[in-house]
Amino acid sequence: MSEMKTTVPVRLYPTPEQAALLRTHCQEYISTINVLVAALDSDVLPEGGKGVSTKDFTAALPSAVKNQALRDARSVWKRAGALGVLPMLRKPFCQWNNQNWRVASDMLLLPLCQDGIVRQMAIRCAPVALDGTPSLLRIKRKRGRWSAEIALTLPEPEPATGEAIMGVDVGIKIPAVVHIIGKGSRFFGNGHSQRFRRRHFYAGRKQLQQAGKVRAVRKSQGKEQRWMRDINHTLSRQIVTHAQEQGVGVIRLEELAGIRPRISQRTARTSRGATARKAAKARKNNRMKNTWSFFQLTQFITYKAERLGMHVEQINPSYTSQTCPACFARNKADDRRYVCAACGWMGQRAAVGAINSARDTGRRGHSAGATVASGSDGGRVA
């Protein structure tokens, strides 16, 4: 299993004097990066800055922080080449490597440059347990609050001893359905409540847009994203905990990259003589699908499961909700109910997707076997 990393957020409580010094420090940091990026782009620093050291430029920053700024500038410049535009950093932030900062009890100790002299400063912070090897420290200010993000390298977990296999199907009406081979299916989340809240956010932003309140629209978008992120964290924790309790060793998730149709395809579906009501409903469904954070939920399930030593596999999502678990015939479900026209098997459509995901062969795994594939244990609920 590859090396795992995580980021731990920590709230900071600087004094007014420390906050002013942090603002100056962060502004100097991003200004230094912007200058270095421009120098790299104009070949003032040739060959991508190879051979350049902190002695070749001046900045009111500690030496190790200047070195980090140089690395960040190279990274920004490389991304700018791929995007075809030279970015300008504006949001205040600063980064320290793991050699010149530490957390002691409820104090964050780090070097800051004050009046041309580098001094070690102790900033009060929320208590935090660093269960791993600290690497990069990032400090930023958002909505008047200072916070730190600490990157940790986690120790490699012991492989899970469970042998059960679980498939996961994510959706809108039912956020997540899991199926454990031989133990049945279980539903997670309240899709109706989430859709209602998403529509409420959308209606509010629409009114703000009509009123020309751009900042309020952005604030609403950020609030919705944070709310959805919290929902996905909760769901992923419930799913992984359930897997651990049921002795699961392998989790199979659908590979969701590239599953959304192109804009031209989505438009064609609603323009072939559709009534205004049907077209409006199609647009609403497309908007809900394209803004729903399926991929984020699968990411959260993946890293939480891997921390517990479970193996996560990706499968092809094609026809997982149309294939009959009993006879493998393909049928389109009538709304949320699945009825096989060939053998008469009946079940919930999302549960069908989870069953087929559990039985499929993951990209990096092994087949579940002919005995498992021939079963039809999709009717029970764990």
**pTM for the model:** 0.68
List, in sequence order, every residue forming a beta bridge with 102; answer none if it has no partner: 109
205 neighbors 221 (Cβ within 8 angstroms): yes
User: How many angstroms separate the most distant Cα atoms in the chain?
Assistant: 81
| DSSP notation for 50-73 | TT--GGGS--SS-HHHHHHHHHHH
pLDDT at 88 (0 to 100): 84
Cα 133 → chain centroid: 22
**Residue type for position 155:** P
List, in sequence order, every residue forming a beta bridge with 357; answer none if it has no partner: none
What is the rounded distance in angstroms from the CA atom of residue 161 to the CA atom of residue 309? 8
Lowest mean pLDDT across 20-34, 163-177, 238-252, 266-280: 266-280
**pLDDT tens digits, one per residue of 279-297:** 655 565 555 555 567 888 9
**pLDDT tens digits, one per residue of 116-141:** 888 899 999 999 888 888 889 999 99
Distances (CA, A) of 170 to 94, 226, 296, 348: 37, 19, 11, 13
pLDDT at 276 (0 to 100): 65
**pLDDT tens digits, one per residue of 183-234:** 999 999 988 888 888 888 889 988 988 899 988 988 888 888 889 999 999 9
| DSSP notation for 76-127 | HHHHHHHHTS-----S-EEEE-TTS-EEETTEEEEEEEETTEEEEEEEEE--
pLDDT more than 90, % of the chain: 31
Q: Is 310 exposed, middle or buried (0-12, 13-18, 19+ CB in 10 A)?
A: buried
What is the rounded distance in angstroms from the CA atom of residue 20 to the CA atom of residue 354? 53
What is the rounded distance in angstroms from the CA atom of residue 296 to the CA atom of residue 55? 42
Q: Which residues lie closer than 8 Å to 126 by C-beta, 6 or more apart?
A: 10, 11, 12, 13, 106
What is the rounded distance in angstroms from the CA atom of residue 116 to the CA atom of residue 110? 16
What is the rounded distance in angstroms from the CA atom of residue 28 to the CA atom of residue 109? 20
| DSSP notation for 140-157 | EEETTEEEEEEEEEEPPP
Assess whether pLDDT exceeds 90 at residue 237. Answer: yes
Compare 276 and 266 and report the one with higher pLDDT. Answer: 276
Assess whether pLDDT exceeds 60 at residue 363. Answer: no
pLDDT at 209 (0 to 100): 87
Q: Which two tokens stand for residue 323?
A: 């294939």
124 neighbors 78 (Cβ within 8 angstroms): no
340 neighbors 322 (Cβ within 8 angstroms): no
Assess whether pLDDT exceeds 60 at residue 37. Answer: yes
Lowest mean pLDDT across 31-45, 141-155, 237-251, 366-380: 366-380
List, in sequence order, every residue forming a beta bridge with 142; answer none if it has no partner: 145
What is the rounded distance in angstroms from the CA atom of residue 131 to the CA atom of residue 129? 6
